[in-house]
A = this chain, B = another copy of it.
């Protein structure tokens, strides 16, 4: 689907020469230290372990260093070249770099696809140039890269602050975020291994970054700011693998149409619908956050060695109010605040004033004594009753904060392996530096709700990653592959237009070929024929109008259910026929009594591929916008999570003592639909509504189905039925 992507994937180490070069040059290095290129050059000069060459034909020296007129004039080999010349000169300069056999490029220059059609054209020429030459490129229109490894020390950005060393790999599609990241890292007491501003992603994108960090021992957790995906299926494959070993946290901007429009005016990247992005993150094991603050709050927790083992939390505080606010957020996000056992309470009680409360929250009532925090935290960490502890300190005496921070860190360092400890210091200045030393780092927060929110995100993420371990994409040997292909190909052959809906008989044959249950069905064109069919089956029937012009058959009176007996069948036939003047016949279908109505759909959402949707109930799906989506192909876990992920799932799982519906049968339908999309990717839209799920092991029946196919693979998104989005 993405041929460009295949080429890139031949270079898993594409980032090596960019993030670990032996020598660098800056083409367009400016004399003005305040200019972007001037600052970039000086940053490299003052940081990088190897030689840094300025290229500038207009200035004899930059920052006291003799310049070269062009890259070709540099007598030594050059690994990495930063390009900071006007867009119009970039292609010529890149050609010189290719001649020079450089190993990597970072194109800072703007004026490419983000500016319109001409820029887009220039960018595609640039991409072609580096692809043919096989040189990995970051950018264009980017803020640069950095690597804090002491053996490399590459500060290849035009920022003013040096980023602290640490274990986060950070990738950003926003240059602005690159500007503020050193400040954010400092504030959150974090550090980064490497940072890449991917800009317009003409060559290197988010997937290549993930591959680099997968193999980079300095990187333990990954942060991404994204506005678009270039190759979502590749992202899914690689992120799924990487996230099993290193947590990935992402923020995706442009989730609303207003945001997407803002993104559109900012970068030429395709902003996909947010539902597809949401599904992609879920299926890739990526922890998605909603705000920048949350991104760093969560990172702060992930940078700790021992992640929470479960969802039980204790709060240790010297103030009731903030503890309640904290408890509210924990409970609202599904975490537990268990009442501590009497044994633990007795242990805690020792040495505390009688007014202290020890249930959970453990409230030291205004105490600012480090020893009380130390002792209580120790007791909590020794107990088996909780997995995490949130310490909340209100600095009635600001001087006490440092001592309490030290006490918390020291206590936690002794018990480091078993529990996750967070600390809230209710002050708007920085959290105390005493929370971290060389060995131990307690994530610090300024507000109780932020700590609780970050912990909840991480606990739920850890839980989900565990649950994800055994997933697989099932295959169905009984699916009649040839029949499926034939039905779809024939339909496409028989039409000159770009896309078409399958005829009802073809849809029925397709259901059978995929091994899906459907009620006995027959299309008739007279009341007599309808009566004959019902007679033959000797069962109650449903009559439905067959018409290519009716979207919602029920709304126009085109459906009559549960009819039995010649007279009633005849009357139903008449009623259905008058409902729609353009009717081409009537479908007589065996009536399936009982069960729960669900909906299964799929549509092509480029660049994501097919997005599958599941909903429970009739018109409510639309009223409540209650659907769960996942990208094709579905794993067994995906199908399970879709069914249980809608708010109305209780309708299926057995409500008020009713028998649960056949969820296995339903899951089977979802997975077979996904298989069908693999067999026949020309299906651009599919709408099974309703799919009736019977109780017990009764199976799931597709009562109504519409399938649209198209020659081209990008026609799906615009015309999909609104139900599915």
Contact = CB atoms under 8 A, between A and B. Distances in A.
A322 B624 contact: no
Nearest to A449: B291
Determine the interface band of chain A, counting residues with CB < 8 A from chain B: 35 or more
A263 B648 contact: no
B174 A253 contact: no
A179 B394 contact: yes
A174 B321 contact: yes
A428 interface: yes
A320 B262 contact: yes
A342 interface: no
Interface in A294-334: 315, 318-325, 327-332
Interface string A383-418: 000000000001111100000000000000000000
Contacts of A427: 180, 183
A293 B450 contact: yes
Contacts of A267: 320
Contact of A624 (B115, B254, B624, B658): B624
Q: How many copies make up the complex?
A: 2
A407 to B, nearest CB: 19
A482 B556 CA distance: 50
A175 interface: yes
Given A160-B397, A394-B176, A650-B623, A428 B183 contact: yes
Contact of A258 (B175, B328, B552, B658): B328
A171 interface: no
Nearest to A393: B176
A348 B546 CA distance: 56
Given A186-B428, A227-B321, 19 more contacts: A174-B320, A175-B319, A176-B319, A179-B395, A180-B426, A180-B427, A253-B321, A256-B328, A257-B331, A258-B331, A262-B324, A265-B361, A265-B363, A266-B363, A291-B447, A291-B449, A292-B449, A623-B648, A623-B651
26 contacts: A160-B398, A175-B366, A179-B426, A180-B427, A183-B427, A184-B428, A225-B321, A253-B325, A255-B328, A255-B332, A258-B328, A259-B325, A262-B337, A263-B320, A265-B357, A266-B323, A267-B320, A291-B325, A291-B450, A292-B325, A555-B658, A617-B620, A619-B656, A622-B655, A623-B650, A623-B651
Contacts of A337: 258, 261-262
B184 A320 contact: no
A129 interface: no
A184 B322 CA distance: 14
Contacts of A623: 647-648, 650-651, 655
A14 interface: no
A159 interface: yes
Interface string A204-233: 000000000000000000000101000000
Interface string A427-451: 1110000000000000000011110
A173 interface: yes
A176 B322 contact: yes
B656 A552 contact: yes
A626 to B, nearest CB: 8
Nearest to A322: B176
A89 interface: no
Q: Which 5 A-B pairs have the closest CB atoms?
A: A174-B321, A266-B320, A176-B319, A259-B328, A258-B331
Specify which of A186, A327, A397, A429 lies most central, judged by the most chain B CB atoms within 10 Å of its CB. Answer: A327
A177 interface: yes
Interface in A544-577: 552, 555
Given A176-B322, A262-B315, A321-B225, A447 B292 contact: yes
Contacts of A351: none
A110 B325 contact: no
Nearest to A648: B623
